[in-house]
């Protein structure tokens, strides 16, 4: 057996111990895998070793990835890299050898694995690309390279060397952008910490009450008034219709948000997310208009119903646009 093969076997054997149950002091960590997860991870790992030994390297990759998802372990990254190497996948091998060193920088075989990394970096260089891994805190940010969505963090990409524009987008966090230089001869890690979006940018401030804009009467009121007529009811009806529209667009927004979460690709996610933002804005506008109309209609109706004297009161209604919707004002003598 070659030294390279012996190195891989050593990692395989070391992994068996790594999926044993956690010690008592580790059990308090809510992110640590539980006993069932460790048992399932060990079963997938052993199946992956069997697939690797039988030459079914693609099956081995899938099984090792499944085991790592259940019970993360850096030796699994090495196993995945070995299987990709057997498949002739230079990019996959480089990605997971680099991941192994990132997760275990002080590994006993770090020098040997580092030599493998250099070998595959040279192979990618010969193909005219180089590997870049984008890591973010928190994870799950959409990665856009030169304006096009390309993945979700942590994301590993093969990119032509040279200048590129990188952007990270995550709901609830400020968009982060960087101009980066991809070297031709070695892979690159880009590590970014996302800043939470300012609260003011997430929730629009409530509009200040508008001052009454109706001009003072320029002529004495008529001796006999016929009241407000049907206008209170028209105003209430229009307000109810606007609120129904707000509810409709809110339901559509919720559906678009769910579709974005279930999107299979970043392009689908971006489309659903943009639609959700547009529907949310429309719902807020309808909500503001409907609320103003319902309040105004209610006041007018109260005046109309409470006005039993022969001398009818006069009122003027004003509606004006404001940030996030409309405001209403009522002026006159009551």
CA distance 258 to 265: 14
Q: Does residue 186 sit within a domain?
A: yes
Q: Which residue has the higher pLDDT, 312 or 108?
A: 108
Q: Does residue 161 sit within a domain?
A: yes
Q: Does residue 213 sit within a domain?
A: no
- Is the domain of 284 the same as that of 322? yes
Q: Does residue 297 sit within a domain?
A: yes
CA distance 70 to 159: 30
The pLDDT of residue 225 is above 60: no
* pLDDT tens figures, 60-86: 999 999 999 999 999 999 999 999 999
Domain stop point among 196, 212, 244: 196
Token digits of residue 200: 């003011």
- Is the domain of 163 the same as that of 278? no
- Is the domain of 242 the same as that of 122? no
CA distance 79 to 45: 10
Domain stop point among 127, 150, 177: 127
CA distance 169 to 279: 19
pTM over 0.75: no
- Is the domain of 72 the same as that of 176? no
22-26, 132-136, 226-230, range with the lowest pLDDT: 22-26
CA distance 267 to 275: 13
Domain of residue 154, CATH code: 2.60.40.10
The pLDDT of residue 6 is above 60: no
Q: Does residue 109 sit within a domain?
A: yes
The pLDDT of residue 315 is above 90: no
Total structural domains within the chain: 3
The pLDDT of residue 314 is above 60: no
- Is the domain of 132 the same as that of 120? no
Token digits of residue 306: 């409470």
- Is the domain of 191 the same as that of 235? no
* pLDDT tens figures, 31-51: 678 899 999 999 999 999 999
DSSP 4-28: HHHHHHHHHHHHHHHTSPPPGGGTT
CB contact at 8 A, 160 and 129: yes
Domain range enclosing 314: 224-333
């Amino acid at each position: 057996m070659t030294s390279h093969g012996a190195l891989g076997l050593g990692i395989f054997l070391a992994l068996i111990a790594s999926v044993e149950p956690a010690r008592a002091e580790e059990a308090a960590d809510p992110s640590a895998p539980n006993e069932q997860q460790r048992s399932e991870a060990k079963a997938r790992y052993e199946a992956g070793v069997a697939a690797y030994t039988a030459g079914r390297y693609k099956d081995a990759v899938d099984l090792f990835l499944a085991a790592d998802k259940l019970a993360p372990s850096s030796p699994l990254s090495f196993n995945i890299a070995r299987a990709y190497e057997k498949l002739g996948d230079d990019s996959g091998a480089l990605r997971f050898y680099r991941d192994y060193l990132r997760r275990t920088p002080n590994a006993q075989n770090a020098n040997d694995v580092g030599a493998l990394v250099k070998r595959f970096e040279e192979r990618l260089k010969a193909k005219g690309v180089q590997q870049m891994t984008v890591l973010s805190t928190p994870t799950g940010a959409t990665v856009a390279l030169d304006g096009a969505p390309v993945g979700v963090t942590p994301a590993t990409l093969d990119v032509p060397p040279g200048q590129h524009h990188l952007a990270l987008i995550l709901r609830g966090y400020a968009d982060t952008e960087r101009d980066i230089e991809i070297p031709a001869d070695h892979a690159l890690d880009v590590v970014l910490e996302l800043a939470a979006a300012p609260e003011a940018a997430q929730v629009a401030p409530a509009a200040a009450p508008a001052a009454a804009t109706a001009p003072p009467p320029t002529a004495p009121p008529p001796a006999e008034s016929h009241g407000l007529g049907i206008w209170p009811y028209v105003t209430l009806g229009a307000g109810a219709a606007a609120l129904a529209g707000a509810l409709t667009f809110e339901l559509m927004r919720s559906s678009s948000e769910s579709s974005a979460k279930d999107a299979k690709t970043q392009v689908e996610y971006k489309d659903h997310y943009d639609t959700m933002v547009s529907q949310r804005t429309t719902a807020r506008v309808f909500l503001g208009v409907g609320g103003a109309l319902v309040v105004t209609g209610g006041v007018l109706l109260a005046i109309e119903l409470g006005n039993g004297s022969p001398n009818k009161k006069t009122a003027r209604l004003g509606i004006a646009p404001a940030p996030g919707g409309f405001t209403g004002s009522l002026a006159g003598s009551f």
